[in-house]
Structure 1
């Protein structure tokens, strides 16, 4: 099963509703030029296969309820 399907399923299991959004951000490494781009020099960034996924959803709440943000991690080695 692709990781995005795992993330969606984890979200549904944890929060009991479907996510409204699923986004992916690839990792990045600078092969040369770390921090020198601030001074106008060139850099050579490269995208990585590793990435981070984020599933988010809006859950209806009572009118007088304060907004709440719940965050959970699918990878238990980072608890």
Structure 2
């Protein structure tokens, strides 16, 4: 059985999707830092968001993959 990371990498490769920071991403990082919070996303999470932005995944599919990925990370 493939991990979410493997699935997402194959999907991104098949559709030519790469992670690119948007101005909204940079704004969110700045606001988070100013609030004193620390939120770190990994490469797989960022790639799931990139697939969503590229309309490869719909919102529900992206959230399901993200949830499965976080569960896999917790149980490693």
Fold match (TM-score > 0.5): no
Relative to the length of structure 2, the TM-score reads 0.31
Specify which structure has the higher proportion of helix. Answer: 2
Relative to the length of structure 1, the TM-score reads 0.30
